Structure 1
Amino acid sequence: MKYTVITTLTGLLLMSSSYGQQKLNMDSLMKESKKTEVWEPVPVMVSPGKSASEAPSDAIVLFNGKNLNAFQKKGGGLPGWKVDAQGILNVVKGSGDIETKDKFGSCQLHIEWRSPLAIAGNGQSRGNSGIFLMGKYELQVLDSYNNPTYSNGQAGSIYKQHIPLVNASRKPGEWQSYDIIFNAPRFFSDGTLQQPATITVLHNGVLVQNNVTILGGTEWIGPASYKKHAEKESLVIQDHGMDGGNPVSFRNIWIRPL
């Protein structure tokens, strides 16, 4: 009996000692952990949209179906594009590009677009438009559903620079989305390039450009190159009016300056 009691007490003492050691070790770990905790600054609360289309609370809404107050014709004047009864923004052929009245640099941009249901033309002559960050760096808009063209000119491409990782296009007439993270270029005071622009693009929720480096301003003919410009410039949406198959539509456009 005595042996059993002594054994039991010894076991309890060992367990107690082990627990105490574990607690000491945990206390020590907690102290070490606190050394790498950062409590300030506290991130500002932002309410996300109820859907991927809805703007978060800190976004600037550029178009929500009501009016074109945030835009003007490129270079100035009233935009010639039309908002229909459903609140959809439609390109009017030959009316020219539109640009934001406000200017932006690095940003997060959400924009939804739709190529025509009725297929007219092929290649670059089918549902063609473009999103020009800072008015200079083009993310291509094109009906690329069963529509062969040069790969660095299809939907999701950084035009004539970067081929998209995949073709995530939906059928003509279906709404598509771009979610863009754009980091503006920086220049030295003498006009030389300090840091090139970079861009990440999700097309319909699919990653198609993964933090790629933009080679310079978009050119239709010839290589891209950088020319010094302001830290903030207008966002431009293209009227590709040279062809007949490009009455592209837009909705739910919002931007978050970074």
Structure 2
Amino acid sequence: MNRILTFPLVAVGLIVSLPAFSQQKDIKLPPEATEFWEPVVRQVTPGDQNTMPPSDAIVIFDGKNLDNFVSAKDESSPAPWKLEDGVMTVTPRTGDIQTKEKFGDMQLHIEWSAPTEIKGEGQGRGNSGIFLMSHYEVQVLDSYESRTYSNGQAASIYKQTPPLVNAMKKPGEWNTYDIYFTAPRFNSDGMVVAPARVTVVHNGVLVQNNTEIKGPTEYIGIPNYKAHDDALPIKLQDHGDLVKFRNIWVRKL
């Protein structure tokens, strides 16, 4: 008996709801109903060229000095890399360097060049790295006509995600990375609730498209998130090769 009564009640409910749904579709709004004027979007002056820092950027390296970096091994020590003709070059076996300032969500512009003297193959050729928040590496490598594992070549999220394409320039020519990074979010228990994400444009070519980062990039083992501060330094890697850097700036997002 209950089954027989249930069906008509459901049917009546559907019939009653249809006119309300139709009325919602027929609502006419003026254009002003979907406009808002506050907050006013703040003004930023672009650089003279797209590679140059806009007015709200923090210039990390402009070729004048290494004052915005310290040794990653000893934060009380200055960055030990070589500065010459406005270019910073890795000094092998001196260790990584990192920014004094800490960053979370960011837009990062950085230019780098692989050594003209070609030595080694694969991971042994023009190797360095850019560690976002000191944990998440965008690979720097001479991948121009040089084969290595795909998730370890230039512009890969190291050991996680290969680039969509190989946009490398020849050794000695300048490569540009424009990196758009969203930091991971953790809850009060230290559990990740939103993983880090990154978009990378390599020499004007999209190579990482809102890519999920699975955790700190590891040489051995599976990545696994561990809670950390909302802002951490950017680290540049000494992998023993004479990789050069210039024109580094950041916008906090």
- TM-score, normalised with respect to structure 1: 0.85
Q: Report the counterpart of residue 146 of structure 2 in structure 1.
A: 147
Which amino acid is 2:54 matched to? P
Deviation at 1:52, TM superposition (A): 2.1
Q: Report the counterpart of residue 108 of structure 2 in structure 1.
A: 109
Q: Report the counterpart of residue 42 of structure 2 in structure 1.
A: 44
Of all paired residues, the percent bearing the same amino acid is: 57
Q: Report the counterpart of residue 83 of structure 1 in structure 2.
A: 83
1:248 correspondence with 2:212: no
Say whether the 8 Å CA contact 1:79–1:95 is kept in structure 2: no
Q: State the secondary structure of the residue aligned to 2:30.
A: helix
Deviation at 1:190, TM superposition (A): 1.1
Kindly report which structure 2 residues correspond to 1:88-167, keeping only aligned pairs within 5 A, or say none.
88-167=87-166
Moved segments of 4+, more than 6 Å: none
> Once the two structures are superposed, what CA deviation does each residue of 1:138-197 show, in whole Å capped at 9, x if it has no partner?
000000100000000000100000010000000010000000000000111111111100
Q: State the secondary structure of the residue aligned to 1:35.
A: helix
Q: Report the counterpart of residue 194 of structure 2 in structure 1.
A: 195
How large is the Cα RMSD of the aligned pairs? 1.0
> Once the two structures are superposed, what CA deviation does each residue of 1:4-50 show, in whole Å capped at 9, x if it has no partner?
xxxxxxxxxxxxxxxxxxxxxxxxx9x81111111111111100111
Which amino acid is 2:51 matched to? S
Which amino acid is 2:36 matched to? V
Question: What is the rounded CA distance, in whole Å, between the counterparts of 1:34 and 1:189 in structure 2?
Answer: 41
Q: Report the counterpart of residue 24 of structure 2 in structure 1.
A: none
Greater Rg over alpha carbons, structure: 1
Structure 1 residue ranges without an equivalent (≥5)? 1-28
Say whether the 8 Å CA contact 2:198–2:209 is kept in structure 1: yes
Q: Between Structure 1 and Structure 2, how many residues are aligned? A: 224
- Which of 30, 33, 37 matches 2:31? 33
Structure 2 residue ranges without an equivalent (≥5)? 1-27
> Once the two structures are superposed, what CA deviation does each residue of 1:102-146 show, in whole Å capped at 9, x if it has no partner?
110010000000001111111101110000000000000000100
Deviation at 1:51, TM superposition (A): 1.0
Which amino acid is 1:88 matched to? V
Q: Report the counterpart of residue 64 of structure 2 in structure 1.
A: 66
Say whether the 8 Å CA contact 1:140–1:158 is kept in structure 2: yes
